[in-house]
Structure 1
Amino acid sequence: MKIGVIGCGSIAQHRHLPEYAAHPDAEIVAVCDIVPERAQTIADQYGTRAYTDYHEMLANEEVEAVSVCTPNYLHAPISIAALHAGKHVLCEKPMALTVEDADKMIEAAKSNQKTLMIGHNQRFVRSHEIARELIESGKIGKIYSFRTTFGHGGPDTWSVDGKHSWFFQQEKAGIGAMADLGVHKADLIRYLLGEEIVEVAAFAGTFAKSATVDDNAVCILKTESGIVGTLTASWSYVSKEDNSTIIYGERAILRLEDHPHYSLIVEYANGEEAHYALGKIQSNEEGGQNTSHVIDHFLKSVINHEEVPVTGSEGKRSLGVILAAMESSQTGKVIKIHP
């Protein structure tokens, strides 16, 4: 599969490019970035062609599929242009900044009969996959509640542009920590519980960074069956990253990525425990998993003409949760979401 990568920032450099390069069924044939020096440096590194205008890259008929790794506000327009150009698209999260743009992306994929996948990599973490299986099997019983969090020091600690990163600029990011981290956890809770979020109440603000977007948010989520839990997203965790989730069930508690050695701990009501050592979760910190598995699933789906595991519709539903959270924070109201 001939691949083009649009946007050569941190996520492209640490995930998309090396994972495509390591995959036997992929060949990187083009990279694009508005910073000419960055585009050329990456092109030289991977022995490919550099572009500074994505329209020119999309006109290259050799490119069969693209990864969209740009600032958030460009996700929808670039993905739509790529789909209309006949390319399959893997788009970073959040897929768009409005539900309307998400719908346009989905329609563009459908009308051009091309694949659209959203890069929600938390679904492919092994502890999360096992937890979903345990919940589906009924071994955990009825789910009562949950709490999930994603926090680290912020994009200034890892973005290629540091404290000047687009992540902190409202006109380019749209939403801050909730779009960067919260959307991951919104998608994860939907995946783990197999339910949609139907009500959201949230508080979000800017406390730690020089930014025009939120850097901290705390949300209360309610699912369609009535499960209530919390979601936290933060760019102000000054010590180690926290990427944990805890599910409270009738027969057991699931602790996901909440222990330094065990990726999943199951604490049963009868006092028994099961410990799963599955390796560290994919992380910006040293020692995290060296693959997100997103590229593997995307290529497999395209090559085998299968539906991707994270469709545009799935991405839209997770986007809807963070949009509702921001609306709640701004209005002081509980926001209802219609699945």
Structure 2
Amino acid sequence: MEKLRVGVIGCGSIAQHRHLPEYKANKQVELVAVCDINEERSIEVAKKFDAVAYTSYEELLKNGGVDAVSVCTPNYLHAPISITALNAGVHVLCEKPMATSKQEAEAMISAAKESGKKLMIAHNQRFVPSHQKACQLIASGEIGKIYSFRTAFGHGGPEGWSVEGKEGWFFQKEKAFVGAMGDLGVHKTDLLRYVLGEEIVEVGSFVETSAKDFANVDDNAVCVLKTESGIIGTLAASWAYVSKEDNSTIIYGEKAILRLEDDPVNSLVVQYANGEVVNYQLGKIQSNDEGGQNNSHVIGKFVDSVLNDQEPPVPGEEGMKSLLVILAALESNETKQIVRVKA
């Protein structure tokens, strides 16, 4: 079988920890090219993964002989690079948040449609076993009507694992456009939409920079979200959880409470209203901590969707819906109003 020839654009931490090793381990992939504006880093990573090094993504797309690319750059470059690649007839897996505005996201989706190429956004929370099981339990009616939820994604901040530490683009508004809300919050809006099977329609938020005095992006955010059927709950995204990562979600239903990634041993705990408790040990969530699951499943799903010519599990439209919740949260914080999510 023909192997998928892949390039990775941007050789920072997410590329080095997730995309590159997962492509390398995939028997259906030939990893042929890497690109980074930092020439030294590009050469070093290319050597390690036996690929050709580029410093210009345009050159990689023109001469690299790639069928598909991962876009692992600072957020402000996601849309321009993805659009250029799609227009060049190359499939794209883009890191989250997919873009910095609704207009950019729409332009990416249009480019995918016009080129007939796949566009997938790397929202990995959907593929966590406990999250998939919770989705099934809710969809089957096992939990009854859902009343409320709370979800959090927080750790000590990207300076601990980003290749550039405190100097990294994560903390620079002109490159990142958004801080913890884009890094972590968008993962959770995507998860809630997936697990609840509903769109989020209204947002109220407080978005602050309180923990990182060297940053000009948000590092601490708390949002109140309302879905189309009237489920209300909270989402916290933070780079201020200094000692231990929190990646938990709790869903409060009529017949049971679901605790996802809240217990160190049982990745899903179902506490039924009649007192019965069911524990599921479904494997650890992927994380940068030791012992976390190292396969995000994102790469495998992307490769399969290209090779089998199927719709990716997180197409551009889904990435945009999750982004729009974040944009509404930022607007709510600016205006001090509850904001309707723009459909």
Query: Aligned Cα RMSD in Å?
Result: 0.6
Counterpart for residue 254 of structure 1: 258
Counterpart for residue 293 of structure 1: 297
Counterpart for residue 336 of structure 2: 332
Pair 1:307 & 2:311 matched: yes
Pair 1:213 & 2:210 matched: no
**Any conservation in 1 of the 2:32–2:64 contact (CA below 8 Å)?**
no
**Offset, 1:60:** 2.1
Distance between the aligned counterparts of 1:316 and 1:67, measured in 2? 18
Distance between the aligned counterparts of 2:87 and 2:298, measured in 1? 23
Could you list the structure 1 runs, at least 4 aligned residues long, displaced by more than 3 angstroms after superposition: none
Distance between the aligned counterparts of 2:62 and 2:342, measured in 1? 39
The superposition leaves residues 141-198 of structure 1 with CA deviations (integer Å, 9 ceiling, x where unpaired) of: 0000000000000011110000111000000000000000000000000000010010
Aligned length: 339
Q: Structure 2: which 5+ residue stretches go unaligned?
A: none
Counterpart for residue 10 of structure 1: 13
The amino acid across from 1:197 in the alignment is I
Pair 1:112 & 2:115 matched: yes
Pair 1:59 & 2:58 matched: no
Q: Aligned residues: percent identity?
A: 67
Distance between the aligned counterparts of 2:149 and 2:28, measured in 1? 39
Distance between the aligned counterparts of 1:338 and 1:192, measured in 2? 21
Distance between the aligned counterparts of 1:204 and 1:338, measured in 2? 19
Give the TM-score, by structure 1 length. Answer: 0.99
Pair 1:274 & 2:278 matched: yes
Select the residue among 136, 141, 156 that pairs with 2:139.
136
Matches within 5 A, 1:188-267: 188-209=191-212, 210-267=214-271
Distance between the aligned counterparts of 1:238 and 1:46, measured in 2? 33
Counterpart for residue 76 of structure 1: 79
Partner secondary structure for residue 59 of structure 1: helix
Give the TM-score, by structure 2 length. Answer: 0.98
**Any conservation in 1 of the 2:324–2:342 contact (CA below 8 Å)?**
no
Distance between the aligned counterparts of 1:213 and 1:331, measured in 2? 17
The amino acid across from 2:257 in the alignment is I
Pair 1:151 & 2:145 matched: no
Partner secondary structure for residue 330 of structure 1: helix
Distance between the aligned counterparts of 2:97 and 2:298, measured in 1? 15
Counterpart for residue 40 of structure 2: 37
Matches within 5 A, 1:86-97: 86-97=89-100
**Offset, 1:331:** 0.9
Distance between the aligned counterparts of 2:123 and 2:232, measured in 1? 22
The amino acid across from 1:31 in the alignment is V
Distance between the aligned counterparts of 1:153 and 1:60, measured in 2? 40
The amino acid across from 1:137 in the alignment is S
The amino acid across from 2:84 in the alignment is A
Counterpart for residue 26 of structure 1: 29
Distance between the aligned counterparts of 1:238 and 1:115, measured in 2? 38
**Any conservation in 1 of the 2:93–2:119 contact (CA below 8 Å)?**
yes
Pair 1:46 & 2:57 matched: no
**Offset, 1:61:** 5.7
Counterpart for residue 322 of structure 1: 326
The amino acid across from 2:88 in the alignment is A
Pair 1:121 & 2:124 matched: yes
Distance between the aligned counterparts of 2:243 and 2:329, measured in 1? 26
Counterpart for residue 166 of structure 2: 163
Counterpart for residue 101 of structure 2: 98
